[in-house]
Copies of this chain bind each other. A is one copy, B any other.
Amino acid sequence: MARIVQKYGGTSVGDVERIKNVAGRIKLVRDAGNEVVIVVSARAGVTNELIARAKALCANPSERELDQLLAVGEQETIALTAMALHGIGVDAVSYTGAQAGIFTDKGYTKAKIKTINPKPVEKDLKAGRVVIVAGFQGIDEEGQITTLGRGGSDLTAIALAAALQADKCEIYTDVDGVYTADPRVVKTARKLDEISYDEMLELASAGSKVMQSRSVEFAKKYGVVFEVRSSFNQNPGTLVKEEVAYMEKVVVRGVAVDKEQAKIVVSNIPDKPGSAAKVFRALADAGIVVDMIVQNIGRSGVANLTFTVPQGDKAKAVKALGPVLKGIGGGEVTVLEQIAKVSVVGVGMKTHSGVAATLFQALASGDINIELISTSEIKISVIIALDKADEAARLAHAAFDLDKI
């Protein structure tokens, strides 16, 4: 007997038929003698419908009311999933985030989990029930409903797996696992059997949309091994875990493309100590995640700062930069949107030289100009023109023999 946490995303529970399919899968796991905890998202589309109604009523809805609103999506799914299990003779009980003891801070729309009280869920598990928990939501200590932000249901599953000391954690989605590249772009992309937390994190920040970074970070911090797999077939997925020795033999594990970034150039900043710090402090205070920072000194006494931000944050970034540039005595802001970030990721590159050279050579062979470069121990990212992104991914994928491993 194992204790298993499974998470099903919005597509997997999109309608009554799909919920029945999920219930059937759960029954198999339950009947094999396991203790089963299920985390579900809102049915696909529900969250967007709710947000559309909210925006129709108020241009800038209160975050507290947004959370109050959005939490209903998952609450619907938990009850329906429990009923689907009852319908096929499986004892099951649903829990909202609050009922499951998922306590968060007060950060509406992007709350952080502070503690989980595993006792109520454990009691029902011991009584032989499948426990269905609403993903994405929690409660603060005053009883206010909070939501965890994008990828919140994955986070709920991984946090519950940690709190319940589960033997397995399975994240079901509409793809078979983590691929060496997006199979829609790179036809020769292959599914990976295993990937390390760090590689998964770099892939996530590089724009691979399988999971949000924070869930992977949480799993890494608490040592939760999880598997990403499809709810539409029985194929094995990709296991995400601490890196193991043999992983390092492979230089590059995957190629990711992110087309949702904008490049911001702040030029002609007075080159004084602390100028850059003030710029990035202002962006951080505005809640903007900045990626790929490059500074270079231009003509005497002035510097240029270049960085990327998510496209959705570009207006907020420009607004935040206004006062700070005035304060430090100058600087002009230019925003460039027609760009993409292409990254190669792999723990193996830590000990292999020449990865950058191989990547740059591959891009050069396609006549692709590199606008910006940033590197980490296990990732190299380049900014290139948006319309060259898919071609760049194919070239890089081939250059690192990812279709052959």
Contact = CB atoms under 8 A, between A and B. Distances in A.
Nearest to A144: B99
Given A80-B53, A80-B54, A143-B98, A87 B68 contact: no
B66 A79 contact: yes
A57 B19 contact: yes
A19 B53 CA distance: 10
Contacts of A76: 50, 69, 72
Residue among A50, A68, A75 facing the most chain B CB atoms (10 A cut-off): A68
Contacts of A65: 79, 82-83, 86, 93-94
Interface in A55-91: 56-59, 61-62, 64-66, 68-69, 71-72, 75-76, 78-80, 82-84, 86-87
A20 B57 contact: yes
A96 interface: yes
A336 interface: no
A250 interface: no
Number of copies: 2
A301 to B, nearest CB: 48
A289 interface: no
Main SS of the interface on chain A?
helix
Contacts of A84: 57-58
A307 B66 CA distance: 51
Contacts of A20: 57
A152 B76 CA distance: 20
B83 A61 contact: yes
A70 to B, nearest CB: 8
A58 B86 CA distance: 7
A22 to B, nearest CB: 11
Contacts of A72: 72, 75-76
Nearest to A134: B68
Residue among A59, A64, A82, A94 facing the most chain B CB atoms (10 A cut-off): A82
Given A94-B68, A99-B143, A143-B99, A54 B83 contact: yes
Given A59-B87, A98-B143, A143-B99, A54 B69 contact: no
Contacts of A87: 57-59
A323 to B, nearest CB: 27
Contacts of A71: 75
A78 B66 CA distance: 11
B98 A80 contact: no
A16 interface: yes
Nearest to A69: B79
Contacts of A68: 75, 78-79, 82, 94, 96
24 contacts: A16-B53, A16-B56, A19-B57, A20-B57, A23-B57, A53-B80, A54-B80, A58-B83, A58-B84, A58-B86, A62-B86, A65-B79, A65-B83, A65-B86, A68-B78, A68-B79, A68-B82, A69-B75, A69-B79, A71-B75, A72-B75, A72-B76, A75-B75, A96-B145
